[in-house]
Amino acid sequence: MAMFMFTTLAILVAQATSTLAHDGVTSFSIGGVRYQCWQPLVRAEEVTAGRPYTYDPILDPVGSTLHCNNAVGP
């Protein structure tokens, strides 16, 4: 029984860690040149290398918007 509980706890911790680790890319560099990705507070007229994404929490695990880079406005 103790082994089952330990295994269950290990699985839950692993899932929680991977869930908490999801984030957006704020910048990247190619050939030493740094490119800024989309930021929620960047002015609309600024050009960025990344597509907009939302910081809204995922409330529906089977929802149609459950993917990265859901094209939404800031």
| Whether the predicted model's global pTM rises above the 0.75 cut | no
Closest CA to 35 of 53, 25, 46, 48: 48
Predicted confidence at residue 21, as pLDDT, reads 47
The dihedral over CA atoms of 44, 25, 62, 65, expressed in degrees to the nearest 10, equals: 20
Number of domains in the chain: 1
Q: Give the pLDDT confidence of 18-29 residue by residue, as tens digits.
A: 554 455 667 788
State how far the alpha carbon of 59 is from the alpha carbons of 4, 30, 64, in Å: 29, 35, 11
Q: Give the pLDDT confidence of 15-72 residue by residue, as tens digits.
A: 665 554 455 667 788 888 888 776 666 666 766 666 666 666 667 777 766 655 555 5
Q: What is the mean pLDDT of the chain?
A: 67
Residue range(s) defining the domain that contains residue 65? 1-74
